[in-house]
Chain A
């Protein structure tokens, strides 16, 4: 109410004057999408699969778990778009319901890894000294293993289920974020605005929470986007080996493992879960790449 009155009482000239161009969130997003068609493709793919994580099970036209042996290994048809598997289950329904496992698990893994890694990185970078040295040597140890080999060893020793896959891959991923955040903190710590904050007597908590952390977010987000793809691949890879999700869970890697026996007779069975998996990873790789190029001033001018 108040806003309309002030607007109408303003001189017309002021109303006609356009406000100076500001970099609002929406204008940045539009600029990003216009930057490259691949960015748009990435966003569309991710939106689609995020939608499936939430609504996939609801949208599935058939029961993804209940076997119906009479219908086993049917080729794609109007009723069963992606055909059926060896137990007569609808592959399309299983692919839809699988999003929440394959992709959802990757989100859980990375959320934990980011929180742990960021905390360790902030502490190491801000406190410095012996604490920094100890924490960084700890990350060195974990980074000395090829990721999948370590994850496999952990998942195998803890037992075969999705919960242990989460533990295994979190252990593998957190050191990367600790490293990343620490580097950022070291760089930010010497900047003038941090010194200024310290000079006016801001507490360390306030400096880290209000000034350092927000400035590391962009780097974390880019890394995170790129890592979702890898985490999805790792989760499904472990499940393919039988170390992650167990049948009859409609996880994509588990489905491909099941399809392996039938790859000569039922091409659709392994094709569709694999394509879905590829498109999911592709979406995050496209977006991550796009974000990195967009935010990096060196490549921006392209």
Chain B
């Protein structure tokens, strides 16, 4: 579809300006197409989740010759929460002689070390602390250093603010009986959902992301994402791909793609649920999502092209879905550009004929509302069996607004850092639980 010259009033007699306008329209077409692609993806996932065949192949493994497992608990200044997770891990239903917990105390300056050491005394032989006093910052760097203590084939990873249930360890270990599986991801459920508007919105977002997005990817044999917590990784797979990437801001995304490119699968276990704490104030949320965006974009630049057209073991559907997944955080600045172009073209007086108006409307519809994502979250709330929380759906526009600008800002900062050569730095997510 092309804009005809006579439809553009302002470019008559101004060829240079007309050229610009045409370029703007073509770029807008591309943006609209990409947005439509993501919209279709959301609908596809949601409909699959509502009506398709649901894959939970490993959840029934409740009896087995359970392998030895190491549980890494990443902790950086976690005095508010570390005792909760260590308590929970000491009561899980997994053979005690086959499970070793390694709290990875990464340069904490609060009382995290003392709390961990108290647990070590209380449960001799079951907890082996790894106190890290220096070295590069970030979770990936800390996990990389802690690997010197790991000898088991199966490794589980938790952030310190999570509280695993009694059966969770077995559920996360079970997929590793499948030799194709290199990584496992469980479902994250906010435990402080009811605190305020932000936590309630994050609760809805998490529902959509896990209950629909991740499970649909599992069902369709696409690319479920490793989340780096409530998760597991196979030691031999990790060694094969070169270990933890300490230069990555989101070691989980980085891990997902390196596993995929090397012929390992990451699987998602929707019924392996674990409570987490979500940010309770907007500045913390903004910082968190900016870090995720930077890390994701970093992975996109590193693996995007190779994933799509390179020679490796990913299937065609994994290449397509993996590429779209890599691009999710790039969509925010792209959408902002789309808005700017749509407004610019409108004020240039383009007569929106022959479907152009429809496309522009669609841009606005898909970009501002992206109702497909709302539909996805509504479906997730239904699958979770909740009723009233779905009423909060219109407020998601607020979360969307904050996200789109924060993520776009992250992209801008990232590009600026690239130009100036500034180094990434790790922003820890603040905790809100009361100290025990």
Task: Decide whether A and B assemble into one complex.
Answer: no
Mark B residues whose CB is within 8 Å of A: none
